[in-house]
Chains A and B, each alone.
Chain A
Amino acid sequence: DTGVSQNPRHKITKRGQNVTFRCDPISEHNRLYWYRQTLGQGPEFLTYFQNEAQLEKSRLLSDRFSAERPKGSFSTLEIQRTEQGDSAMYLCASSYWGQGLSYEQYFGPGTRLTVT
């Protein structure tokens, strides 16, 4: 039974570059979430999907951020024109939703982004 996996685990990039992260959820889970966590804070919601549909996106999410889940399985999070303020841990989670019930979210190990 594999958990949520994220790649890469670490990414160092220069300001202005684009980066893309990948998340592979637990196979039977139909919901997938992205969060961002900065040092000393709790995770902050970015967006989530049910299958391939993006159901909710944080108002705090800049237009430089885009997420996709094209086939309802893995998801990618792209950040364009990175800024130093984008440096954070990007966490992916997945869960099962069915019959009007939502269950706990299982998190991956995260991708740590450092923008220099």
Chain B
Amino acid sequence: AQKITQTQPGMFVQEKEAVTLDCTYDTSDPSYGLFWYKQPSSGEMIFLIYQGSYDQQNATEGRYSLNFQKARKSANLVISASQLGDSAMYFCAMREGPNTDKLIFGTGTRLQVFP
């Protein structure tokens, strides 16, 4: 079974609108961390936001927020007020358990923002 599933290969959003990128995860470990990274066409992975499994509140970082639904094992990224520069690949990743620091990535969602 896939550890991280991103079911949207591509998404379109109009500038200034909000968009939600879906991510579901699979783990039986109670301790885990969830990350979102952005990868523009230049190739460099840019950290956006982090949610720990024990965090009581949803994480927010500027225009990024993480809609964390633990029971549904989902960690969707919400981008508010989209900008043209948000066009990129977005990857959801998980660090599973307290004894490892490796990240397991999904296959990504390509977001295109149009004027």
Where the two chains meet, the residues of A that have a C-beta atom closer than 8 Å to any C-beta of B are 31, 33, 35, 40-45, 48, 55-56, 58, 89, 91, 93, 95, 97, 102, 104-110, 112
Contacts and interface: CB of A to CB of B under 8 A. Distances in A.
Contacts of B41: none
B107 A41 contact: yes
11 contacts: A35-B103, A42-B93, A42-B106, A43-B103, A58-B102, A93-B45, A102-B33, A105-B35, A106-B47, A107-B44, A110-B44
A108 B104 CA distance: 17
B45 A45 contact: no
Chain A at the B interface: mostly helix, strand, loop or mixed? strand
A40 B10 CA distance: 12
Contact of A104 (B50, B100, B104, B107): B50
Contacts of A43: 45, 91, 103, 105
